[in-house]
Amino acid sequence: MKTKCNVKFYLEKRLDKESRNLITENVPIFLFFSFDGKRLQYFTGYRINIDQWNTETQRVRRNNFNKKGESATDINFHLTDIEKTVTEIYHQQKANKKNPSVQYIRDELRERLGEGNKNQLSFFNVFKKFIEIESQLSTWSKGTVTKFNTIYDQLKDFHDKHYKFDFESMDENFLYAYVTYQMKELKHRNTTISKNFKLFKWFMNWATKKEYNENLTYKDFKLSLKGTTRTQKIIFLKWDELMKLYELSIPKRYLESVRDVFCFTCFTGLRYSDVYNLKKSDVKTDFIEITTIKTEDSLQIDLNTYSRAILEKYKDAPFENDKALPVISNQKFNEYLKELGKFAEINDLETVVYYKGNERIEETFQKWQLLSTHTGRKTFVSNALFFNIPAEVIMSWTGHKDHRVMENYYKIIAPQKRREMNKFNEQ
C-alpha cells in the first residue's frame, strides 16, 4: 500500500500586539504533519529564539540554549523522536488498512511521547477555574457569570457531539467549526455569535496569560459576519409615549409598580441592576448618588420632577434591604413590561433587521413587544439629546465614556432631525 505523509517543524510567526513587529524571542516550535489531505499542527513543547533556528534543517543551531536552559542537542533529539513517532503511528494505521483521523494521530502521539499521563488540567477544568477565580476577583455580575456558564455549556456540547478538542488542537478548522455549530445548530444570530466569540477570546487570553494555553491561533482568527459591524437599531420611547405611560391609570398593582420603576430608569438613565440596588440612603435632596454595579463608576445623577415624584411615592414603603423602589427580578420585570406596554397601547411598528449567516432577516413588531429593561436607559439618552442637553452632561449622568455611543443615538432622533431640517423652511 502506497502511503504519503510529510513532517515539517517550524517556528510560529506572530506579531507583537503593541509594536506590530515579529516576535523573535522564545518562539514556540510546532510540528506540521500532513497526510492523506489532512493536516496536524502540534506544539512540540519547546521554544527557541528565531536567530537560533535553522529553517533549512528545521532544527536548533548547534551550541545554543533556550530560555529554560534546554540545549540544542536535547531539543533536536526530541524533535527527531517526534518525527519518528508520528510517522510510525501513521504507517502502522495504513498497514492495518485504516485511515487515521487528525485527532487519532494527536492522541496517539501524546500517549507515546508520555504526554498523555501528565497531570495537566483539561480545557474544561481550566474554564471552570477561570469562572470561579475571575468572578470573585473581578466581582462579576450575575449576568456575566451566566454568560460564561452558557459559553461553557455550548463548548461542552460542541466537544461531546461534534468536535473533540483541547487547547493544543484549536486550529482554524476548530474555530470555523465552532462558529458553524452556533450558526447551524443553535440558530444564533450573527450578533450573538460575535458576542460569544468575544467571551471565548476573553477566556483564552486569560488561559494564555496563566500559561494553561500556548496555542495562539485564536488571536489571529478574524470573525467577519454580516450585520455585526453596523449600528444596531435603538428601541426607545419618544417623549409623548413616555408621558402617556407615566400618566396612565393602571388597575393592576403589580403593573403599576413595573411602570414606576421603568419610568424611573427613563428619567435617570440608570441601568436596571443599579435601580435594583438603589437604597433609600442613596437618595439625597436633589440627586441620587451611586456606585454602579457593572462599571463601579461613582455617579451623581440629578433628580427632575418625574424621578423625584416616583421616589416620593415610595419613600415610606418598607422594602427589603432598604431598597428605594419596588424592583423585582430582571426576567419577571421584562415579562410584565411587555404586558404593560401592550396595555398602554404602545403600538408603533418597528422593523428589526438581523442576519443568520448570509441570510438577511427582517421582522416587524409592535413596539411593546420589544420593550426590555435596557429600553429605559436608551429612552433617557434619546430624549435628553432631543432636548439639546449636551452629550458631556448626559455622559456624566450615565457613566458613558465613549462619544461614539452618543453618535449612535444622534442617528435615530428623527423628530430632532426633522426640527433641524425645518430651519431651512424658516429662511
Q: Which long-range contacts (CB under 8 A, 24 or more apart) does 178-183 make?
A: 179/223, 181/154, 182/154, 183/356, 183/357
229 is a domain residue:
no
CATH number at 371 reads 1.10.443.10
pLDDT confidence tier of residue 204, bands split at 50, 70 and 90:
very high
Q: Which long-range contacts (CB under 8 A, 24 or more apart) does 56-60 make?
A: 58/8, 58/9, 58/10, 59/9
- CA–CA dist 265, 306 (Å, integer): 11
Q: Kind of pairing, strands 59-60 and 53-54?
A: antiparallel
pLDDT confidence tier of residue 117, bands split at 50, 70 and 90:
very low
- State the residue for C-alpha cell 455580575: 141
- State the residue for C-alpha cell 450578533: 191
Same domain, 144 and 173: yes
Same domain, 128 and 74: no
User: What average pLDDT score do residues 301-319 get?
Assistant: 95
Which residue did the predictor score with more confidence, 349 or 297? 349
13 is a domain residue:
yes
pLDDT at 84: 94
21-31 per-position pLDDT tens digit: 899 999 999 99
pLDDT confidence tier of residue 140, bands split at 50, 70 and 90:
confident
44 is a domain residue:
yes
157 has pLDDT over 70:
yes
Look at the alpha carbons of 196, 198, 201, 206 in this order and tell me if their dihedral is positive or negative: negative
Domain boundary among 82, 112, 142: 112
- In order of 4, 74, 170, 266, the CA distances from 340 in angstroms are 68, 72, 47, 15
Range of the domain at 37: 5-112
- In order of 112, 158, 167, the CA distances from 177 in angstroms are 28, 9, 15
234 is a domain residue:
no
Same domain, 96 and 152: no
414 has pLDDT over 70:
no
Domain boundary among 192, 220, 248: 220
Same domain, 148 and 105: no
Q: Which residues share a beta bridge with 359?
A: 356
Share of the chain above pLDDT 90, in %: 63
pTM greater than 0.85 (yes/no): no
Same domain, 11 and 90: yes
Domain boundary among 185, 220, 255: 220
Same domain, 262 and 372: yes
- Answer whether 23's CB lies under 8 Å from 15's CB: yes
User: What average pLDDT score do residues 123-137 get?
Assistant: 89
Same domain, 301 and 389: yes
Which residue did the predictor score with more confidence, 233 or 262? 262
Q: Kind of pairing, strands 27-35 and 359-366?
A: unpaired
Same domain, 209 and 263: no
- Answer whether 91's CB lies under 8 Å from 72's CB: no
H/E element, 45: strand 38-48
CB neighbour burial string for 145-159, b if at least 16 within 10 angstroms, e if fewer: eebbeebbebbeebb
99 is a domain residue:
yes
228 is a domain residue:
no
**Residue 168: Cβ within 10 Å count:** 18
User: What average pLDDT score do residues 288-311 get?
Assistant: 92
pLDDT at 297: 86
Same domain, 359 and 384: yes
**Range in 141-150, 361-370, 417-426 the model is least confident about:** 417-426
119 has pLDDT over 60:
no
pLDDT at 227: 85
pLDDT confidence tier of residue 427, bands split at 50, 70 and 90:
low
H/E element, 394: helix 391-398
229-250 per-position pLDDT tens digit: 766 788 999 999 999 999 999 9
316 is a domain residue:
yes
118 has pLDDT over 60:
no
Same domain, 182 and 149: yes
Q: How many domains does the chain have?
A: 3
pLDDT at 418: 65
Same domain, 273 and 165: no
pLDDT at 416: 61
Cell triple for residue 192? 450573538
- CA–CA dist 41, 398 (Å, integer): 48
128 is a domain residue:
yes
Average pLDDT, the chain: 89
**Cα-only R_g, the chain:** 29
Cell triple for residue 323? 431598597
184 has pLDDT over 90:
yes
Rounded to the nearest 10 degrees, what angle do helices 239-246 and 253-268 cross at?
Answer: 140
Same domain, 15 and 156: no
